[in-house]
Structure 1
Amino acid sequence: GGQGVEFRNFAVSGAQSGDVRDRQAVAAAAFRPHLASVVVGVNDTLRRTFDLLLLARRLDEVCALLAGGGAVLLTVCLPDPGAVLGLPAPLGRPLARRQAAVNAVVHALSERYDAVHLHMGDRAWVEDRSLWSPDRLHPAERGHRTVAAGFHRLLAARGMALGAAPGLDPRQPLPGRLDSWLRLVTAASGWLARRSTDLLPQLLCLAGAELRHGACGTGARLDRRAEEALRRALAAVQPADARTAGARAAPSGPSAAPRVSMEG
């Protein structure tokens, strides 16, 4: 008979990069997996405490721990939550900046650790509603199957032995309109309750900044701040020899503050 496959899920709903580094990655590394999916970042972008530099360093540690144990990493870049939720531009644009920056960090680390990377950040993932559950934040069954099929294709291209590709058609019946509406209301009310003292007040402040800069014609400042935060985060996750070479080539001057915010 063929060799068996064991699957273990260490994911926790609502976990952030610190949770993944401190608990989930440690438990997963002890299992010594051959494949390890590392999908981190969206929950960080939906928090008042979002810190791109800190997230990048944590994700680098997670990848180093798992890859160092011999695991092939599976990574994805994701669409921004504002687009998936259909938020108006002043609310959605700050989240779009955050997710774009997280995706750039994931791309850099995927290349560094030779991960199997699935690109899910384009409009096709946002616009195909059949891929998403009613809460518009988590994939539906067809979405999960599409992700599995995408990784199957990428792994097969690397010559890794796999069985048949997973089908895309859901096995569970699709929820009716009323059921979908009830699930959406339940999910939305719970999400609002959890984020009412965290993301929502700050998101309103960020939206106010978007409107203020837009009215003054200074919106490019927000983009430049985001670009600078991303530059620092990417520099922080370069290999040590690359950082040393970059430091030798960089002009001298005061060091940057350790905590970076993308918006303000």
Structure 2
Amino acid sequence: MRAPRFVALGDSLTEGVGDPVGNGWRGWAALLAEGLGPGAEFTNLAVSGAQTRDVLERQTPVGLALRPDVVSVVVGVNDTLRRTFDIHAVAARLDAVYAAFRARDAVLLTACLPDPGALLGLPGALARPLARRQQGVNTVVHALSERYGAVHLHACDGAWVTDPGMWSADRLHPGERGHRQLAVRFHALLADAGIATGAAPGAEPRLPEPSRSAVLRWLATQGTAWVARRCTDLLPQLLALAAAEVRHQARGTSARLDLGASRAVASALAALTAPERADAA
């Protein structure tokens, strides 16, 4: 019996940003790979800045060619930071990626994630539109994970999100402790399913957590530019969305925005063809 083959797809979170080793990044997926079993093979295809389109069009063909036993698909935050955000497109792309790997009998790993507005500490009127988008992505991931029998990690809230010790200096990516926490939690799910047979990754970091001065220094020298690069095309739209938030809040009609977002998610999921209907067609 050959060693398990693990392929990771996604963005900077899976690439390992925030968990430096040598001149590169390690991250939760590499830590998890060590606990899958003896001789486990690991390939990380994740790229910083990737959106669902990148995962579908660029990473998935390469991943399928590697014939993985286990594949992780954790992506979507970067989609929410773009002017072109479309929950219908996000749902369709994730559906296609999940279906492709499950058709090859790969064990699928997924996760829902915290919204970037909260992590950045944005004012409410700016944070709520981003939170609504991320909640929509998470709802899609939940639904599709259930549809395809994925091993799903609920990582969008809880103590780990609000614990500063889990995060790197940029406060957008987990630090070593945070990456280890993700790896430990994924390993526990896989071990319960009889998939991970190796030892669980260690939960304690080997490097010191970033100091407050390091966080402030990063924000002053790189943080603003990093956010600007990620949100260049979104900013004008985000300001308009924030203005709408303020207007609805003043009128007491904020629930309409939530309802509209929920309906868009429901419509996006309804537009997808369920596997059993596709097989019967």
The TM-score bracket by the shorter chain reads 0.7 to 0.9
- Whether the 8 Å contact between 1:152 and 1:165 is mirrored in structure 2 is yes
Q: In 2, distance between residues paired with 1:99 and 1:17? A: 13
Q: Which has the higher Rg, Structure 1 or Structure 2?
A: 1
C-alpha separation between the residues in 2 aligned to 1:122 and 1:78? 8
Output the amino acid matched with 2:183. A
Q: What is the Cα deviation at residue 173 of structure 1?
A: 2.6
Structure 1 residues without counterparts, runs of 5 or longer: 244-264
Q: Which residue of 2 aligns with 1:185?
A: 220
Between the aligned residues of both structures, percent identity stands at 60
The alpha-carbon deviation at position 109 of structure 1 amounts to 0.8
**Which shifted more, 192-201 or 123-132?**
192-201
**Partner of 1:110 in structure 2?**
145
Q: Distance between the aligned counterparts of 1:82 and 1:10, measured in 2? A: 26
State which of 106, 120, 124 in structure 2 corresponds to 1:89.
124
Q: Does the Cα contact within 8 Å between 1:152 and 1:162 map onto a contact in 2? A: no
Q: Distance in 2 between matches of 1:223 and 1:161?
A: 39
Q: 1:109 touches 1:237 (CA, 8 Å); kept in 2?
A: no
> Matches of 1:59 and 1:115 in 2, distance apart?
12
Q: Name stretches of at least 5 consecutive residues in structure 2 with no aligned partner.
A: 4-36
Q: CA deviation at 1:119?
A: 0.5
SS of 1:8's equivalent in the other structure is strand
CA contact (8 A) 1:81 1:95 kept: yes
Pairing partner for 2:159 from 124, 131, 135: 124
Distance 2:40 2:63 in 1: 15
The number of aligned residues is 245
Return the match for 1:149 from 177, 184, 199.
184
How far off is 1:143 after superposition?
Answer: 0.7
In terms of fraction of residues, the more strand-rich structure is: 2
- 1:102-124, Cα deviation, whole Å (9 max, x unpaired): 11100111111111111011242
The reply on whether 1:32 has 2:32 as its aligned counterpart is no
RMSD: 2.1
2:6 paired residue number: none
Is the 2:168–2:210 Cα contact (8 Å) retained in structure 1? no
Question: Which residue in 2 is equivalent to 1:208?
Answer: 243
| Paired AA for residue 56 in structure 1 | A
The SS at the match of 1:214 is helix
Between stretches 70-79 and 161-170, larger displacement belongs to 161-170
Secondary structure, counterpart of 1:175 in structure 2 = coil
The CA deviation at 1:242 is 5.6
